[in-house]
Amino acid sequence: MKKEKKGTGKLLKVIEKDKDKPARLVQTMTHLVEISLIDLTGWNPRCEDSFKDEEFEELKQSMKENGFFKHEPLLVRPAVEAFRFQLIAGHRRLQAAKELGLTEVPVCIQDINDQDTKLLIFIDNFHRKDFSPLEEAQGMKMILDDGAITQTDLAKKMGKSQSYVANRLRLLEAPEELKEKIISREISPGHIMVLLPYVGYPVFDSIFESMKEQIDNNGSVSIRELEGEVIENGIDNCDSVLDLDRFPYDTRHVREFFDFRDCETCQHVVTRDFFGNPERHCLNQVCWFSRMTAAGELYNKSVEDRKKKVLESSPEDLKIDELKYGEYETLMIKYHPWIKDCEGCDKRRTSDGKEMGSEICLDPACYKKNDAAWEKEQQKLAREEEKKSWEMFDSKLKNLTFFEDQQARWLLNNLADKLWDDAARVGLSIWDKAKKGERDPDVSKVPDEDIYRAMVRLVVAQEFVGCKPTIETMNKFLEGLGV
């Protein structure tokens, strides 16, 4: 019973190296202590789920079969209240003993201050493989909040780098929905590091939905997939993000006037590697929208200044290839007959000061107005022409009560020519069995006495292109004919 445990001794070395606060050894031998006298410190970052996993059940089974003495003794310290103790290491062993109904457990008693107690509790859990990243981050924060130890010192005691500690602490900045994904092991801390720059912005919800969809469809999402298509889809589905390197098509012309000052160091700008190409996205819509508005005003002013300069230039000095898109429209009498009304306009110029069979208009707004008015007039004339043509057609056929053979044959030929190939092939099949893909059916093989029947067959066959007729559907057509 009075046997020193090596595992507990190794754990104590963590604080023995602290020269400023050396551990004060009270006893190194084990003693039996009633479980009812052992209290918890409340500093254990592990959640209650750690008492429900398979390893915990194996621990209980081993303790049931072999007794507690096959396991390391608990590490405790004297409590403020006399004859009571606080647990430092061995929370799972203590819980297993309680569930097995044990009343006494072996302990190693050490007089350890609060700071070192927190550190020992954390280190004891850190080496457990089921210690989750979030529990690890919570334990680190608890130790560092006291201010008695730095991230660098803590990293050395853990055998890790300072950046490892810093990144773990950043997990605590994640929203609850991401923490739940870590707990369920659907994502890793690496995923959180990728997503954290977007947290707190409207685009995060879009990216999170894109990630959930990827997980639901494929069962998982890799960090590479998250950095690539998942975030890309999330950004594409959100209008609150501006790609600083590729402006939207309708605003690309104002990019040269956009104020990019401070964007490189701005906390709202996220730079990501997209298949080897760096992309910068501004997540602060209020900022980039105001800058975009200002850039638009500067662009409009530059357009007006250029327009004024162009209008003041002589025809000989005007170079069309120096004009920008949207600053002019090309005029051609063949397509723009209305330009005859623009004679004498100072905004109508010949290209490069030469006669090239075309001219340019330096007032695109006026051009579009005139072109739209002319197009509207042409449509009106076309509608009137269409109305008159049908009136003429109806007047000539007003007294037509039957077809001559020549007229009926003409109708049949045109009907067969206008219908789908399958409809013509089926409709005329009883007179000419033309195979599909080889040739069109020969309408001339329809005898004069069958012309009307052939026309009806073609119309009905057109209705059944893509489907097969039934007795019921065919009867409906015959009823319409009164047959």
Task: Convert the pLDDT of each residue in 341-376 to its tens digit.
Answer: 887 787 777 665 444 446 788 888 888 899 899 999
DSSP class per residue in 76-136? EEE-SSTT-EEEEE-HHHHHHHHHTT--EEEEEE-B--HHHHHHHHHHHHHTSTT--HHHH
What pLDDT does 353 receive?
A: 47
3-state helix, strand, coil in the chain (%, to 5): 55, 10, 35
More confidently predicted of 146 and 371: 371
Low-confidence winner among 91-100, 139-148, 332-341, 349-358 (lowest mean pLDDT): 349-358
Q: Are 88 and 113 in contact (CB under 8 A)?
A: no
Residue 111 β-bridge partners: 24
**pLDDT for the residue numbered 268:** 94
Task: Return d(Cα 271, Cα 320) in angstroms, integer.
Answer: 39
Domain ranges for the chain: 6-173, 182-290, 314-400, 405-481
The pLDDT value recorded for residue 23 is 35
Look at residue 387 and tell me whether its pLDDT is greater than 90: no
Q: What is the mean pLDDT of the chain?
A: 81
Of residues 55 and 454, more confidence is placed in 454
Contact 98, 63 (CB under 8 A): no
CA distances from 138 to 46, 231, 435 (A): 9, 28, 78
Q: Quickly count: other Cβ atoms within 10 Å of residue 77's Cβ.
A: 21
* CA R_g for the chain: 43
- Inform me whether the pLDDT recorded for 230 exceeds 60: yes
The pLDDT of residue 83? 82
Give me the pLDDT at residue 330, please: 81
Choose the weakest-confidence range: 35-39, 81-85, 401-405, 421-425. Answer: 401-405
State how far the Cα of 425 lies from the Cα of 416, in Å rounded to an integer.
9
Angle 272-277-279 from CA coordinates, rounded to 5°: 40
Using 50, 70 and 90 to split pLDDT, how confident is the model at 190? Answer: very high
Nearest to 437, CA basis, from 459, 417, 455, 421: 421
Residue 146: both structure tokens together? 């006291």
Burial code of 361-399, b = ≥16 C-beta within 10 A, e = fewer? bbbeeebeebbeeeeeeeeeeeeeeeeeeeeeeeeeeee
Whole-angstrom Cα distance, residue 303 to residue 301? 5
Residue 413 has pLDDT above 60, yes or no: yes
| 3 state DSSP class of 329 | strand
Task: For residue 319, list its beta bridge partners.
Answer: none
- Looking at the predicted structure, is the pLDDT value of residue 110 above 60? yes
pLDDT band at 26 (very low <50, low <70, confident <90, very high): very low
**Which phi and psi angles does 362 have, rounded to 5°?**
-90, 10
Beta strand 242-243 pairing with 277-282: antiparallel
H/E stretch holding 153: helix 151-158
Q: Please name the residues in contact with 227: beta carbons below 8 A apart, sequence gap of 6 or more.
A: 194, 272, 273, 274
The answer to whether residue 393 scores a pLDDT higher than 70 is: no
Stated length of the chain = 483
pLDDT at res. 2 = 36
Confidence of residue 28 (pLDDT cuts 50, 70, 90): low
Q: Give the SS3 label for residue 278.
A: strand
Assign a CATH topology to domain 6-173: 3.90.1530
